[in-house]
Structure 1
Amino acid sequence: MMVELCFALEKQGISAFRFDFSGNGESEGIFQFGNYLKEVDDLHAVIRHFTAANRVVSTIIGHIYLENLFAGGNVVVLYASLHHDIKKVINVSGRYKMDRGVEEILGKNYLERAKKDGVIEFKSITGLLLRATYESIMERLNTNMHKAGLKIDPACSVLTVHGSVDEIIPVEDALEFAKIIPNHELKIIEGADHRYDKHRGELASVVLGFIRDDKYA
């Protein structure tokens, strides 16, 4: 989905750079469950790289994918709460309530098992064997998106996009972001699931409109 979105931006003359966080996708490193602050650091390093090359990074876009293992939507919101060098943030299907969805990934009594054994092994949607430590699970559970949203500079415009029939993260999470982020727009795409399989054109249109300050449907 993000590849297609980048292509759509580039067709409109907007330069886009897409990357996977350390240990995820095509990037090197070891996957760490709930590794949000490290991923914020990854994003900050990318932005500093382009800034040093005299390239202006005006907008950051994040989307949670692969059964909410890789939390791009949350990372861009957390980034904006910690760094005030971005004008626009696009949170695509981000999670507000961080305790939800963990049991679906790690199984029942995950916290007790992780505390006892130190680590839980689980498989990603693609069948890759991954590990979650007790510490990494606690990092996720202790990540407070409410506090993060309140800390975003009002000068930073935030767009939250969410599918109305998202099967991974309920649309109610998007409504919670809308309540707390100071300078916020909310766009619910009717009929869209978490991956926007049948609504990617509409998603691209919404994203383009927000970046360009155009009115979108």
Structure 2
Amino acid sequence: MQPIRNSAGEQLDASFHDAEKSDCLVILGHGVTGNKDRPMLVELADALAESGYPCLRFSFSGNGESEGKFTDSNITKEVGDLTAVIDQLGTGKRIAYIGHSMGGAVGALTVARDERIKVLVSLAGMVRTADFTDREFGDVTPDDGLMWDEPDCPLSQSFVDDLHQIDNTLAAVAEVRVPWLLLHGLADDVVLPDDSRDLNKVLRGPSKLVEIEGAGHSFEGHYSVLATEVSEWLENHL
């Protein structure tokens, strides 16, 4: 696989899971402070590849082993990263995108302007971006403090400003018609289940909301449910 670079020339760390349905490509994007190697994404990509779907996991710029600065990371820049991945790998492919948490917001804003994505899956997808940053980081001083006290994840003013400017993804997806699967754990206290419920209400294309009792933000202990639901959705719509 050739190196993937975004519009700033930063190389994006990626892992490919080959599979038999070569006319398809499933792209998986992580959430804030995450990377492509989060166990949920690895196990889901493995399961989907076993079902025949080639998968690409990648880390957004400034995250994991990808080039770039973490303090430059925000939703708008990550939309550009995802677009660069599709530009370089998506030619002639039927593309599905699976986004976790903030990666779900990235998918929503990308599909609203990029018709190459044929199927969308949101895993605890962030919808009300301003509410999220106020709730999780409202007591942290931007450009001084840290996200969840993680030393490698400083909170930047540009991150806060970007999520406030977006505010929410609901208006952006009002005209989207692609099949969209939403999965959310009812024990999620990072991105609240109401985000997925509100999004599902405005979708005009085929959609399904799956609420998972007892599942937290990263779906630990519930990976098999994700694999089953996503595989079925891809089989029916991709």
TM-score over 0.5 for the alignment? yes
Shift of 1:138: 1.8
2:228 equivalent to 1:191 = no
2:197 equivalent to 1:160 = no
Equivalent in the alignment of 1:205: 228
Equivalent in the alignment of 1:106: 137
Q: Aligned pair in 2 of structure 1 residues 170, 12: CA closer, same or farther (>3 Å)?
A: same
Mapped to 2, the partners of 1:173 and 1:131 lie a distance apart of 23
SS at match of 1:165: coil
2:146 equivalent to 1:122 = yes
Q: Render the CA deviation track for 1:89-140: whole Å, top value 9, x for unaligned.
A: 00111122222232454342x5xx55xxxx333145643241412x431210
Q: Report the aligned-residue RMSD.
A: 2.0
Mapped to 1, the partners of 2:188 and 2:147 lie a distance apart of 22
Shift of 1:12: 1.4
Equivalent in the alignment of 2:103: 72
Alignment TM-score, normalising by the size of structure 1:
0.82
Aligned length: 196
Q: Aligned pair in 2 of structure 1 residues 95, 193: CA closer, same or farther (>3 Å)?
A: same
Mapped to 1, the partners of 2:215 and 2:159 lie a distance apart of 31
Which structure 2 residues correspond to residues 85-100 of structure 1 after superposition, within 5 A?
A: 85-100=116-131
Shift of 1:164: 1.4
Instruction: Check whether the contact 2:174–2:204 (CA below 8 A) recurs between aligned residues.
Output: yes
Q: Aligned pair in 2 of structure 1 residues 104, 177: CA closer, same or farther (>3 Å)?
A: closer
Instruction: Check whether the contact 1:124–1:130 (CA below 8 A) recurs between aligned residues.
Output: no
Instruction: Check whether the contact 2:112–2:175 (CA below 8 A) recurs between aligned residues.
Output: yes
Instruction: Check whether the contact 2:70–2:153 (CA below 8 A) recurs between aligned residues.
Output: no
The code of the aligned residue for 1:8 comes to A
Alignment TM-score, normalising by the size of structure 2:
0.75
Mapped to 1, the partners of 2:172 and 2:144 lie a distance apart of 28
The code of the aligned residue for 1:78 comes to L
2:80 equivalent to 1:58 = no
Q: Aligned pair in 2 of structure 1 residues 175, 131: CA closer, same or farther (>3 Å)?
A: closer
The code of the aligned residue for 1:24 comes to N
Unaligned runs of 5+ in 2: 1-39
Instruction: Check whether the contact 1:33–1:131 (CA below 8 A) recurs between aligned residues.
Output: no
